[in-house]
Structures are given as structure tokens and as C-alpha cells.
């Protein structure tokens, strides 16, 4: 039997374990791979620096570099998505881009270039940009958990309202200009953007005024115990948002 590198074998074992059972902490990886915790941490840091794994609040997950490495496989994600992306690009006349999330950035995995216009959008596979910039980043953010919205946008949003009603609502309104039956229309896009902006200013302004009035009259904050317990159970006898309450009884 040929001699192999023990370190290389351990690193591949760690990567495979994260791919099968992630997200995992360094302690989880050490236990599952039966290696020293310090060794597990060092291997994970090395993989993370090369983007083969990425770390979030839940632990280590497979990173975008692993997807790029899989481009040579027969049934990789790019190969499966390519016909759909190409058809969408032909139908809309616009460039279609596939992104993956790496920490707080969107990474370009593949693209189907538009051929209908002289001026077109073109990305370089592997390039990246912050998630809060651009339509693609906003689209990805719309499907992220409330915790991710909190971490990226620094918004205290315990029930995920920003993701559900804010980002998803804004993107749903704006995307109409791209996917309407009549095809893309710049005038429609501008009207949708103005509509989103007006709705935000009106809702934010009215809510700010209302909450300031409440704050300086009857008070806005509840007690620490009520904040942890949640007002749904004591006020209504049930959880309005399942899984958000720490306590499950009155």
C-alpha cells in the first residue's frame, strides 16, 4: 500500500465530515473524526482560509471553494443549473448569475451571458461582493434566517420581520419589472423602486413617531422577565411565533 500524508488524510476527513453533518463546531469535528481538538481547530482554520469551509453562528459549513472544485464533476451544481440559466437568459435577454454565500459576501459561481443587447452585465467566476449590495445579494438575504439578517445588517429583529416583510417584500415588488409577461421595462422598474421607497419612508416615519409617543408617555419597554418570556403567552395564552419563546408555559 502506498504511503500517504497523515495530515492530508485528516484534512480530507474533516472536510467530508463537515459536508455530511455540518454545521459543526471544532469540538464536534474532533469527536466525530477522533482527533485532537487542537488539531481539528487548526485543520478547520486552514480550510476556512482557503474557503473550503465557512464559519457562521451555528458552526462550520462547506464553503464556496468546494463548489468551485466540484466543477469538474459530471453532475455538479453548475452542470445541472446551466440549461435552466441559459434558457432564462434567452427568455429575458439579461445575464443570469449563480451565487453562493460565503460569510457576509456573495460569490459568483457561474453565469449565462445575455446575447440580446450590446451592453450587458458580465461577472468573473470567483468574484465577490457584500450581500447588502446589489440585487443578487438582496435576493440571497431574503432567504436567510433572522439571525443572519441581525449579523449582516445589525438589526434587532427577533421575529424575522426584516427578512420576511422587508427584504422579501421589496424584492418581490422590484422583481416584477424583470419577470412581468411583457418583459423587462425600465419605467416599470423605476416605478417599483419609487413605490418601495415611498412605502419604506411612510411606514418607518409613522412607526417612529408612534413609538416615540408611546416611549415618552406610557413607556415602551416591558420588564426583563416579560421580554424573555414573550408577550404572546401571557397576553394570548399561546405562541404567535413558534420557537422564539424561551419559556413554553405561563
- 10-residue block means of pLDDT along the chain (250 residues)? 69 88 86 83 87 86 79 64 86 84 80 75 78 76 64 65 78 87 89 94 94 90 72 71 52
In a domain, 211, yes or no: no
- Residues 57 and 74 placed together within one structural domain of the fold: no
Q: What is the pLDDT of residue 151?
A: 65
In a domain, 131, yes or no: yes
In a domain, 215, yes or no: no
Q: Which of residues 101, 130, 154 is at a domain's end?
A: 154
- Dihedral angle over CA of 39, 42, 48, 53, nearest 10: 10
Domain that includes residue 102, residue range: 69-154
- Residues 144 and 110 placed together within one structural domain of the fold: yes
Taking the C-alpha atoms of residue 182 and residue 173, their distance in angstroms, rounded to an integer, is 16
Whether the bond between 23 and the residue before it is cis, its omega within 30 degrees of 0, is yes
- Residues 26 and 74 placed together within one structural domain of the fold: no
In a domain, 161, yes or no: no
- Residues 97 and 150 placed together within one structural domain of the fold: yes
In a domain, 238, yes or no: yes
Count: domains in the chain: 3
- Residues 100 and 42 placed together within one structural domain of the fold: no
For residues 160 and 148, the answer to whether their CB atoms sit within 8 Å is no
Amino acid at each position: 500500500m502506498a504511503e500517504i500524508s497523515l495530515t492530508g488524510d485528516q484534512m480530507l476527513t474533516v472536510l467530508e465530515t463537515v459536508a455530511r453533518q455540518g454545521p459543526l463546531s471544532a469540538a464536534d469535528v474532533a469527536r466525530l473524526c477522533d482527533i485532537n481538538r487542537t488539531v481539528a481547530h487548526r485543520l478547520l482554520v486552514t480550510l476556512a482560509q482557503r474557503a473550503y469551509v465557512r464559519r457562521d453562528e451555528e458552526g462550520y459549513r462547506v464553503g464556496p471553494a468546494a463548489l468551485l472544485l466540484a466543477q469538474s464533476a459530471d453532475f455538479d451544481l453548475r452542470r445541472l443549473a446551466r440549461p435552466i440559466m441559459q434558457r432564462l437568459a434567452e427568455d429575458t435577454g439579461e445575464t443570469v448569475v449563480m451565487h453562493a454565500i460565503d460569510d457576509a459576501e456573495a460569490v459568483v459561481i457561474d453565469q449565462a451571458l445575455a446575447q440580446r443587447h450590446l451592453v450587458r452585465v458580465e461577472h468573473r467566476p470567483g468574484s465577490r461582493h457584500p450581500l447588502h449590495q446589489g440585487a443578487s445579494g438582496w435576493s440571497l438575504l431574503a432567504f436567510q434566517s433572522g439571525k443572519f439578517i441581525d449579523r449582516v445588517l445589525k438589526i434587532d429583529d427577533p421575529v424575522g420581520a426584516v427578512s420576511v416583510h422587508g427584504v422579501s417584500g421589496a424584492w418581490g415588488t422590484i422583481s416584477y419589472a424583470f419577470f412581468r409577461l411583457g418583459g423587462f421595462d425600465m419605467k416599470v422598474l423605476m416605478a417599483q423602486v419609487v413605490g418601495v421607497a415611498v412605502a419604506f419612508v411612510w411606514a418607518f416615519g409613522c412607526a417612529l413617531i408612534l413609538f416615540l409617543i408611546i416611549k415618552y408617555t406610557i413607556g415602551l419597554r416591558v420588564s426583563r422577565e416579560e421580554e424573555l418570556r414573550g408577550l404572546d403567552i401571557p397576553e394570548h395564552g399561546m405562541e404567535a411565533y413558534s420557537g422564539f419563546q424561551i419559556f413554553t408555559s405561563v
